[in-house]
Amino acid sequence: MTLIRKESKGTYLILLLNRPKVNALTLQMVEELRDAFKEAEADDGVQGVILTGFPGIFSAGLDLIELYDYDREKMRVFFKAFGLMHIELAEFSKPFICALTGHSPAGGTVIAVAADYRIMAEGE
């Protein structure tokens, strides 16, 4: 995984969205996020997941500049993966917390609303 950083804190797994500058969502990021949650679901040592971003930004949502270059088939694959990601996050059986470190419009909000709990940073 290159766009999602993992760190264990006791029985919790912290996932950091790691796509500078604003964690905009691409097909690769969506697939890595889905994979990270599938691995966490299967790992009995993980009792919950905290998903976060950089200070000042959680996720700016879809990377419209990259999506503009997708052909029809890749766009279909992207939106199918994005929709499945939302369903999988909502159905995740362990506690799922979004630590919203800043702005979270559009696709970032889609991720946040799937969480069991949302904690928002104050300031910036």
* pLDDT, the chain, mean: 94
**Could you give the CA distance from residue 51 to residue 13 in angstroms, rounded to a whole number?**
8
Across 35-62, average pLDDT: 95
> Which pLDDT band holds residue 78 (cuts at 50, 70, 90)?
very high
Distances in whole angstroms, Cα of residue 37 to Cα of each of 60, 85, 122: 20, 9, 27
Mean pLDDT of 52-73: 93
Is 3.40.50.150 the CATH number for 4-120? Answer: no
Per-residue model confidence as pLDDT tens digits over 1-36: 799 999 999 999 999 999 999 999 999 999 999 999
Residue 112 banded pLDDT, cuts 50, 70, 90:
very high
The CA distance from 115 to 25, in Å, is 17
Given pLDDT bands bounded at 50, 70 and 90, which one contains residue 103?
confident
- Backbone torsions φ then ψ of 29, nearest 5 degrees: -65, -40
68 three-state secondary structure: helix
The full set of domain ranges for the chain reads 4-120
Q: Per-residue pLDDT averaged across 23-50, rounded?
A: 97
